[in-house]
């Protein structure tokens, strides 16, 4: 069993990494090159179907949002719908990637989910991330992309999970692309979840982290709701709700 000192050290390391990531994500000119160095920019899907991918010279579309906003389902479903490999930048969960994409006129879909479900799901899925830290991530992402919203398509969580072809059609109309639509039949949705399941099984990740509906995560989320509604988070919560409503106004 880990000692108290060991747990304390792990928590300190986590906090240091968390604040370092939050800080560097504020600077696109620094964050994106570092992400390309770490995650690369791939020319084929292969076994890397859902691994984070940064913008590169061949990037054809960016699909990005905070954690727990349907990122994995959106990327898997989008790729399954295409009749060729499309180079997608995704899963950095960083506004920097969106900002760079807009500045380079790369078609971009930003995923939007209301703050409470996003935050409690994030905290339940990835301890030791706290509710306050998850809420801060939410604010950091949407406050940074908001000024660039005319340059991308915003797709709500409901659209992504129930009617993804609406978002694909919107980006085709906006960017003049011809991406194939996703037939959101039960069979195709099940196929997406099977791919997601296999990926997480291969990585030996806990059930709570799997990017699909989870009873285990649902139970853990309930323990975080009271924290989300705590008085000390009222200001942050209000900002998040206002950002969400403003982003939703132009969403599909």
Q: What is the pLDDT of residues 147-176, one digit of tens each?
A: 999 999 999 999 999 999 999 999 999 999
Assign 246 a pLDDT band (cuts: 50, 70, 90).
very high
Angle, helix 131-145 to helix 115-125, in steps of 10 degrees: 130
- Longest Cα pair distance anywhere in the chain, in angstroms? 58
On the question of pLDDT at 14 being above 80, the answer is no
pLDDT, tens digit, for every residue of 24-37? 777 777 787 777 77
Higher pLDDT, 42 or 23: 23
Half-sphere exposure of residue 97: CA atoms within 13 angstroms, side-chain side = 29
Give the pLDDT score at 47.
41
Are 250 and 242 in contact by the 8 Å Cβ rule? The answer is no
What does the domain layout of the chain look like in residue ranges? Answer: 4-248
The mean pLDDT value for 71-97 works out to 95
What residues contact 57, with CB distance under 8 A and at least 6 apart?
Answer: 41
4-248, what's its fold?
Rossmann fold (3.40.50)
| pTM of the predicted protein model | 0.85
**How far is the C-alpha of 151 from the C-alpha of 99, rounded, in Å?**
9
């Amino acid at each position: 069993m880990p000692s108290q000192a060991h747990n304390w050290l792990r928590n300190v390391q986590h906090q240091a990494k968390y604040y370092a990531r939050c800080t560097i994500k504020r600077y696109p000119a620094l964050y994106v090159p570092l992400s390309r160095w770490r995650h690369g920019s791939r020319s084929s899907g292969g076994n890397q179907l859902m691994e984070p991918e940064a913008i590169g010279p061949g990037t054809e579309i960016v699909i990005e949002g905070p954690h727990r906003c349907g990122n994995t389902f959106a990327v898997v479903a989008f790729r399954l719908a295409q009749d060729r490999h499309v180079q997608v930048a995704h899963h950095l969960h960083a506004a920097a990637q969106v900002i760079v994409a807009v500045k380079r006129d790369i078609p971009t879909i930003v995923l939007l989910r209301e703050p409470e479900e996003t935050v409690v799901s994030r905290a339940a899925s990835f301890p030791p991330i706290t509710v306050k830290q998850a809420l801060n991530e939410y604010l950091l992402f949407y406050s940074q992309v908001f000024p660039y919203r005319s340059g991308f398509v915003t797709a709500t969580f409901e659209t992504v999970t129930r009617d993804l072809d609406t978002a694909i059609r919107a980006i085709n109309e906006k960017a003049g692309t011809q991406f194939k639509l996703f037939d959101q039949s039960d069979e195709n949705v099940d196929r997406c979840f099977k791919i997601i399941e296999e990926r997480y099984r291969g990585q030996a990740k806990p059930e709570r982290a799997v990017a699909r509906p989870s009873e285990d995560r649902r139970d853990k989320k309930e323990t975080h709701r009271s924290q989300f509604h705590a008085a000390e988070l009222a200001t942050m919560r209000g900002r998040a709700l206002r950002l969400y409503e403003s982003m939703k106004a132009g969403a599909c």
